[in-house]
Amino acid sequence: MKIFLLLLGLLNVLASVATAGTPGEVKVGGYLRESTLHGFDGKTNTLSEYKGKPLLINVWASWCGPCRAEMDSLERLAARYNGKEFNMIGISTDDNNLAAIAFIKQSGVTFDNFHDRKLLLENMLGANTIPLTILVDEKGLILTKVRGAREWDNPKIIAAIEKIFQLEPEPDPMFGLHMLNLN
């Protein structure tokens, strides 16, 4: 019986650790707080500069294999949508600024990326695991958080993003038809 209780207690602790948030996390359904974004080029932006259009935020690090794996598909998604139907930004949690810059250059990423110097964004966004992708509406309301790597330019994922952001489906370039949601 003691072993069973100890095992049950351990499972409860592990479950709470797995679902625990980060200090100051804004949960789904909450609004992002204003924050300064530090660009790798030395320039700064603010989160409020991205209001007015839906925003996709990807939290990553150069040492993170799954983050590296999904970056090409994020770049293809950005080429198709960034600045048009919605905006996209990346937030690096790298301790080493130079490693993040090297990865951005090596991977050919063109969408805006920022360095989370003091882990304020990491905590606010709830990035206790990465990659983490957050979809935010035009007013700053967090609509959903997606943990783990995805193939972001997959037609099913694009259809899901369009639905979450309440966008008109984009015509398929091959046939001129709207893409179908195959979920």
pLDDT in tens, 18-34: 456 778 899 999 999 99
> DSSP secondary-structure letter at 78?
H
Residue 123 and residue 25 in contact, taking contact as beta carbons nearer than 8 Å: yes
Structure token digits, residue 70 = 């999904």
Assess if residue 173 is contained within a domain.
no
Q: Cβ–Cβ contacts within 10 Å for residue 169, how many?
A: 14
Q: Which residues neighbour 69 within 8 Å (Cβ) at sequence distance 6 or greater?
A: 149
Assess if residue 130 is contained within a domain.
yes
Assess if residue 5 is contained within a domain.
no
Gap between the Cα atoms of 115 and 95, Å rounded:
9
Q: In a structure prediction context, what are the per-residue pLDDT tens digits for the chain, which is 183 residues long?
A: 444 333 334 334 433 344 567 788 999 999 999 999 999 988 999 999 999 999 999 999 999 999 999 999 999 999 999 999 999 999 999 999 999 999 999 999 999 999 998 889 999 999 999 999 999 999 999 999 999 999 999 999 999 999 999 987 656 555 444 443 333
Assess if residue 91 is contained within a domain.
yes
The pLDDT score that the predictor gives to residue 1 is 42
Assess if residue 179 is contained within a domain.
no
Q: Which domain holds residue 98?
A: 25-164
Domain containing residue 114: CATH number: 3.40.30.10
Could you tell me which of 5, 152, 159 has the C-alpha nearest to residue 70? 152
The pLDDT score that the predictor gives to residue 4 is 32
Assess if residue 134 is contained within a domain.
yes
The pLDDT score that the predictor gives to residue 8 is 32
Assess if residue 16 is contained within a domain.
no
Overall domain count for the chain? 1
Assess if residue 180 is contained within a domain.
no
Gap between the Cα atoms of 30 and 17, Å rounded:
22
